[in-house]
Every structure is written in structure tokens, then in C-alpha cells.
Chains A and B, each alone.
Chain A
Amino acid sequence: QSVLTQPPSASGTPGQGVTISCSGSSSNIGSNTVNWYQQLPGTAPKPLIYSSNQRPSGVPDRFSGSKSGTSASLAISGLQSDDEADYYCAAWDDSLNGYVFGTGTKVTVL
């Protein structure tokens, strides 16, 4: 069972923006940085955001991350068809002494 909660789905039309939430607790998001991963259909996950709000090189600035207290968010602006994927938040959990992933959000471009 995931300890980080995300909405199961989000959608928007091309050009619109969507925001995905990730709710945790004091032992994970509240005390550690958050990472976001994108998983395109049939492929391995790839890093999208690290240290809560940093983009790896090559990731478009349409993707942005933020964190406040025990929650985090991923914002995608200017939706494109290529953005259709599953998105996962993740963080280290000090109580579990392990890495935890969110429940995942499927983004659909209408």
C-alpha cells in the first residue's frame, strides 16, 4: 500500500494545464525532498523532477514541481499529446526507512 496519495486521473485539452497533487506525511514529504517520474506506456519510468522543484536536463520547462508541508504538486502547462503517461511522486520515508512511491496519476490529453 502506497503512503503517498495521488488522484487516479487528470486530463486536459492540448495547450491547457493540469496539476497533480501528492499527499504524504511528516515522515516522508514533510521531512524529505520529492521526486516525480513519468512513465510512458510500455516503458520504464524516467525522472521528471528531483529535489521537489528541479528539472533534469532535457525536461521541458512546461513541467514544474513544488512542495509545501506534507504535500507536493506537479504542474504541466501547455499540454501535448506526448504528455499522455502515468506520473508518480516519490520520497524517502524516515519511519519506514525506505523509499515510497505515490499511487500514480494517469494523464489523458483529450
Chain B
Amino acid sequence: EVQLVESGGGLVQPGGSLRVSCAASGFSVSSNYMNWVRQAPGKGLEWVSVIYTGGSTRYGDSVKGRFTISRDNSKNTLYLQMNSLRTEDTAVYYCARDPAGATFGDAFDIWGQGTMVTVSS
């Protein structure tokens, strides 16, 4: 079955660090564009980052310089390392696949269930 499962969320103090993971099954993360999208409580969706098949990355302005996206092909897992966390980073973090082919445009076709990150003292 094609699916994404996030883990690693939790409570962290402002200024702290946390790494969330996204394990993929049924497909290879290295053959797709893999994204992180977040949603603050009661708010809309915000794109965070993407890692392309070639390994290059892009970030949203609100996390640039603080967050790092990466993947481990041997574990078929996507990661988001979050440093210098702020209270405004509190959100559910979703990983999402962009199959990067003409058959689906640049839409995200598979989403995980999300993992909650709370930044609070």
C-alpha cells in the first residue's frame, strides 16, 4: 500500500530543536519530489519545504535558515530538522508526495496523517 507515516512530533521549548520523520511505503522517496506542509491550529495550509529527486531543496521564507529537509534513501524516509524553533512554528506537520510526472501536474497526491509539533515554554 502506498502511504506516508509521520512521527517525531512533540513539545519543545522556544529556541529548541526537533526532527520529524516521514516513512514511505509502496514507493521510493528518492524518485519523487517530497514536501513538508504545516497547519497551525485553526489556520490554513502553509508549504514549508521540498526536496527534489536530484537532492536540491527549497524552503518557505518563514523557515529558511532554520529548517533543513533531507532524506535517507536506504530507509525510504524523509526528514525535517527544525532548529531555533519559535512559538509560531506550532502546527501539524504533514509530508506529501509530488509524483513529479506529467500525469499529476505538480499536485501533492499522497499525504501523511500529520504529526503535531508544539513550541511552548
Q: Which residues of A contact B (CB under 8 A)?
A: 2, 32-33, 35, 37, 39, 44-47, 50-52, 54, 56, 86, 88, 90, 92, 96-104
Given the known A-B contacts A44-B114, A96-B61, A98-B58, are A2 and B44 also in contact in the complex, defined by CB atoms under 8 Å? Answer: yes
State the interface size on chain B (CB cutoff 8 A).
23
Distance (Å) between the CB of A17 and the closest chain B CB?
Answer: 23
A54–B96 CA distance with the chains assembled, in angstroms: 19
**Quick check: is B88 within 8 A (CB to CB) of the other chain?**
no
6 contacts between A and B (CB under 8 A): A45-B37, A50-B106, A98-B50, A99-B35, A99-B50, A101-B44
When C-beta atoms are compared, the residue in chain A nearest to B95 turns out to be: A44
Distance (Å) between the CB of B52 and the closest chain A CB?
Answer: 12
Given the known A-B contacts A98-B59, A99-B35, A101-B46, are A56 and B111 also in contact in the complex, defined by CB atoms under 8 Å? Answer: no
Given the known A-B contacts A33-B105, A44-B114, A47-B108, are A88 and B58 also in contact in the complex, defined by CB atoms under 8 Å? Answer: no
